[in-house]
Amino acid sequence: MVQPAANPSTTPSSWSVSRDQMLQVCERKYFFQYLAGGRLNGETPELREIGLLKKLKPYPVWLGEVFHRGIAEFFHSHGGDTPLTADRLISLARQQVASDWHFSSQRTFLKKPYAIDKEGAALLEHFYGEMPADKSPESASDQVATLLERFLSWVAEVNLIARMKDADRVWIEPDAWGPEAPGFWEDGVQVITKVDLAFGRHGEGFEIYDWKSGRAPTDKPPFLGQHELQVGIYQLWPLLSLGVEAPAISSNLVYFGNESPVVETHKLDDETLPLLRSTLRNSVRLTRQWEECLQAGVIIRDELSYAYNVHTCRQCGFRQLCRQTLDRYAHA
């Protein structure tokens, strides 16, 4: 992705659907996640605390990540000489669950914060001492194995590996940053499109995939739902950065939480393309204005809004900070 000439408005530096959703759901969470400057090696105890809390993952997010990692390993292995067998793939995923769980349940992340996501996970429920009694490494391991079994059956059914091998270029869980990262620019802001899988063949189709470990929603949203917006924005990446024609692009949400995986395919047509572009343009503009107002003191930090939904707070690592004054992050 080639970076355009510097834009005098430098905030926000990047945009993604998840970032947009966070600002809509809770301004405080957005502040902690993106603006406070929290890092494990931050200059003050407060910034180091935010850095640690940013690394906490709710159980469902962690489980989904183990599943995604397994899928990526499976696809990568098919690019080499020794493709992973189903048994080996599931065995590796079970080992991952066990080591993550041990690291997290022992709260090793407090002693070795730099080892988080390298030696194991930091689960929010272990941090706050509220892991539900029905959750265990055994049940998590079985759940991931079930998801991977469904995935493997589906991959064989739709002949995905052969189609990937036939493509000119394949992206498997690409990094979100760097010159090769999928994305494009909107009004001087880098739009991040972190696809799970994409491949294309010149002059033919360009397919994008997003894996979901949950069940497919039963209600269709009246407008663009979060998942539809996510894969819709993903489609703008090949259109705007790779020069692929809109009719050739498709994006697929695949839900493996259902016993038989559910695939929702989205296309860019005359109705969705202008809708996606205007939604994106408005969100980038509003986010920039909001951040500039915050920096200028027009929006008062201590008056940033809280989440409306208590479920959002249960899944939020910043909850031990968010009732305190935000003015102590004076340099953020």
Residues interacting with ligand SF4, by CB under 6 A?
Answer: 26, 28-29, 306-307, 312-313, 316, 318-319, 322
- The DSSP 8-state label assigned to residue 188 in this structure reads T
Q: Smaller CB distance to ligand SF4: residue 28 or 78?
A: 28
How many CA within 13 A on the CB side of residue 93?
32
Could you tell me the smallest distance in angstroms from the CB atom of residue 306 to ligand SF4?
Answer: 4
Q: Are 232 and 269 in contact (CB under 8 A)?
A: no
Question: Any idea how long the chain is?
Answer: 332
**Residue listed under structure tokens 């949203």:** 221
Task: Report the C-alpha gap between 301 and 149 in whole angstroms.
Answer: 47
Sequence letter at residue 53: L
Q: Smaller CB distance to ligand SF4: residue 151 or 318?
A: 318
Could you tell me the smallest distance in angstroms from the CB atom of residue 61 to ligand SF4?
Answer: 14
Q: Smaller CB distance to ligand SF4: residue 246 or 313?
A: 313
Could you tell me the smallest distance in angstroms from the CB atom of residue 18 to ligand SF4?
Answer: 14
Q: How far apart are the first and last CA of the chain?
A: 29
Q: Smaller CB distance to ligand SF4: residue 275 or 313?
A: 313
Rounding to the nearest 10 degrees, give the CA dihedral for residues 292, 280, 310, 38. -50
Task: Report the C-alpha gap between 194 and 278 in whole angstroms.
Answer: 20
Per-residue b/e over 29-60, b at no fewer than 16 CB within 10 Å?
bbbbbbbbbbeeebeeebbbbbbbbbbbbebe
- The DSSP 8-state label assigned to residue 165 in this structure reads H
Could you tell me the smallest distance in angstroms from the CB atom of residue 237 to ligand SF4?
Answer: 29
CA angle 97/310/325 to nearest 5° reads 100
Could you tell me the smallest distance in angstroms from the CB atom of residue 301 to ligand SF4?
Answer: 13
Q: Smaller CB distance to ligand SF4: residue 17 or 145?
A: 17
Q: Smaller CB distance to ligand SF4: residue 71 or 307?
A: 307
Q: Smaller CB distance to ligand SF4: residue 262 or 304?
A: 304
Could you tell me the smallest distance in angstroms from the CB atom of residue 315 to ligand SF4?
Answer: 8
Could you tell me the smallest distance in angstroms from the CB atom of residue 164 to ligand SF4?
Answer: 38
How many CA within 13 A on the CB side of residue 159?
3
266 phi and psi angles, rounded to 5 deg: -120, 145
